[in-house]
Amino acid sequence: MNIVILDGVLFIASVLLIVGLRKLSNPDSASNGNRLAAVALGLGVLVALVYPVETQNNNYLYIAFGIVVGGFIGIISAKKVPMTAMPEMVSLFNGFGGLSAALISLVWMVNYHFSGEATELGIVLLNLFLGLVAFIGSMVAYGKLSGRLKDHHLKIPFNKVLNIIILLVTVGLIVVFSFNGYLSTPQTILFIVLSLFYGITFVAPIGGADMPVVIASLNALTGITAAISGIITDNKLMLLGGVLVGSSGIILTLLMCKAMNRSVLSVFFGNFSATKGAENQVEGNAKEISASNLAIQLAYSQRVCIIPGYGMAVAQAQKIVKELEENLENKDVEFKYAIHPVAGRMPGHMNVLLAEADVSYDKLLDLDEANSYLETTDVAIVVGANDVVNPSALEDPSSKIYGMPILKLSKTNNVIVLKRSMNPGYAGIQNPLFFKDNTKMLFGDAKKSIEIILKELKDV
């Protein structure tokens, strides 16, 4: 096929990809944007299959097999994954993207007999390193998110120092091997092992509350490897897609770091959640409220605000919360949602949940807007959130989340916390909010509790 036509198709695919990614920024157009981006990448795959290359090994059977098997696994996974497991799925898919980039580098090295010009070999080795870090780091993140890996399974002595040493050694090896212009088999194996080990030590010390930050940073790494892979394979669409994903991932990482009050350097050297001392003990008696009493309180309120967290995803309560919104608005009650940037276990987790329930984007308040709104709110209902409303971040210098911006509920008239029990949140620390004078607890499954509230509201 004429190479001019193929380049034209790639140009069209590039435009579709940019437009598709732009549409992802708005919940109303996100679905169409996702379809456009999928079409763009599908065109890119087709062009890559027929694009002229220096050698032709007739590997179409293997390629077709990979497309069919991979497509089948992807479709089944996407259809079956529950909303609670979305962060784990994102980690898995992100990890396989990094692995793909690493394999592209390995194939290049095999084809060129592990030798090349200094610049070429340096780029390939850098891509191999970043791809393997993104892969194994995402697998560790998946293990943590799914509960298969606990923090005590991954305790590494002198982790921060070890991270710096491994990173410096690996960068040094890239420079040495590049100028030598050649790698032996043992050197290649050593480089791969060091890269994988750094990926483990990079993610191992990360605490639960910081997981959205590491997902964003690993996503940025995968985007960067895709861009470098586009340079290696001379694939313009892959280069463009990688640049877009990598740059957006970096921006998201910076936003997540700001939301968690973490420095960017702590991301790369694995210094998350370093506890500053013994946590202050939380003492007091939590006060309970019944669903019927809460229903009466809501019916006679002027402003109600929902603060969602991972517990809402577990209970699958987003649609019943939407019903509560509609019911109260019919009673002329103003209803909003306060969204913390790192609520849940991945960036945008709560936004995805609420979008699934057709909650209007205009009702979602960001951190600053929410804190102003909460000062004049009659009832704030915390649905499964814990760490993002924990006043220890402001009051307890010994807390591992100290300094993290939170949703402030100290001036809210009434705070109702929907939880199954008094167990601590993902960060593993107790929440003094539960014992404050303006706070009451409604224990049980969030979805069932709100169903009872809705029934009671009909009689108010």
Asked whether 132 and 195 are in contact (CB, 8 A), the reply is yes
302 has pLDDT over 90? yes
Q: Are residues 147 and 65 in the same domain?
A: no
- Comparison of pLDDT for 383 and 273, the residue scoring more: 383
Q: How many helices (H) and strands (E) does the chain have?
A: 17, 6
Is residue 410 in a domain?
yes
Residue 187 covered by a domain: yes
Rg (CA), the chain: 25
Q: Pick the more confident residue, 65 or 150.
A: 65
- Beta strand pairing call for 439-443 and 364-365: unpaired
Determine contact, residues 112/164, Cβ cutoff 8 Å: no
The predicted structure's pLDDT at residue 151: 62
279 is a domain residue: no
Residue 281 lies inside a defined structural domain of this protein: no
Identity of the residue numbered 206: I
Closest CA to 237 of 109, 62, 46: 46
What are 167's two structure tokens? 């990173």
Quickly state the pLDDT bin for 438 (edges 50, 70, 90). Answer: very high
- Boundary-marking domain end, from 48, 64, 80: 80
pLDDT band at 274 (very low <50, low <70, confident <90, very high): very low
- Choosing from 225, 249, 274, the residue where a domain stops is 274
The answer to whether residue 54 scores a pLDDT higher than 70 is no
pLDDT recorded at residue 351: 85
Structurally, the chain folds into a number of domains equal to: 3
3-class secondary structure, 19? helix
| Tens-digit pLDDT profile for residues 6-25 | 888 889 999 999 999 888 87
Which 8-state DSSP code applies to residue 396?
-
Q: Which residue range is the domain that position 357 belongs to?
A: 291-457
Catalytic amino acids? 387
The three-class DSSP label of residue 375 is coil
DSSP code string of 410-435: TT-SEEEEEESSS---TTS---GGGG
Say how many C-beta atoms besides its own lie within 10 A of residue 164's C-beta: 14
Q: 56: pLDDT confidence band, cut at 50, 70 and 90? A: low
Domain membership flag for residue 118: yes
Task: Give the 3-state secondary structure percentages of the chain, helix then strand then coil, rounded to 5.
Answer: 65, 5, 30
Q: How confident is the model at residue 328 (pLDDT cuts 50, 70, 90)?
A: very high
Residues 249 and 149 both lie in one domain: yes
Q: What pLDDT is recorded for position 275? A: 43
User: Is residue 361 very low, low, confident or very high in pLDDT (cuts 50, 70, 90)?
Assistant: confident
Closest CA to 15 of 49, 47, 39: 39
> Are 397 and 445 contained in the same domain?
yes
Q: Establish if 286 belongs to a structural domain.
A: no
- Token pair 């010994």 is found at 398
pLDDT digits (tens, 9 = 90+) for 213-266: 788 889 999 999 999 999 998 888 899 999 999 998 898 888 888 777 777 776
Residue pLDDT, tens place only, 340-356: 988 877 778 888 888 88
**318 and 379 within one domain:** yes
For residue 319, the domain's CATH number is: 3.40.50.1220
Same domain, 445 and 408: yes
Residues 244 and 310 in one domain: no
Q: Please compute the mean of the pLDDT values over residues 154-174 and round it to a whole number.
A: 84
**Which letter, b or e, does each residue of 265-288 get, where b requires 16 or more Cβ atoms within 10 Å of its Cβ?**
ebbebbbbbeeeeebeebeeeeee
- For residue 53, the model assigns a pLDDT of 60
Is 268 found in the same domain as 180?
yes
Give the C-alpha separation, 188 to 124, whole Å. Answer: 12
Mean pLDDT of 307-331: 91
Strand partners, 417: 382, 441
Task: Say if 256 falls within a structural domain.
Answer: yes
> Do 109 and 22 reside in the same domain of the chain?
no
Cα–Cα distance for residue pair 180/174, rounded to 1 Å: 10
314 shares its domain with 414? yes
How far is CA 203 from its chain centroid? 14
CA distances to 105, 176, 232, 239 from 112, in Å: 11, 18, 12, 22
Polymer length of the chain: 460
**Mean pLDDT, residues 146-157:** 70
Give the separation between CA 313 and CA 47, rounded to whole angstroms.
40
Same domain flag for 202 and 114: yes
309 plus 447 within the same structural domain: yes
Is the domain of 66 the same as that of 93? no
Last residue of a domain, one of 80, 103, 129: 80
| Average pLDDT over all residues of the chain | 86
pLDDT of residue 276: 46
Let me know if residue 432 belongs to a domain: yes
Rounded to 5 degrees, what angle do the CA atoms 163, 167, 168 make? Answer: 120
The C-alpha angle with vertex 305 and arms to 312 and 273, in degrees rounded to 5, equals 55
Cut 0.75: pTM above it: yes
Q: Please tell me the predicted confidence (pLDDT) of residue 152.
A: 58
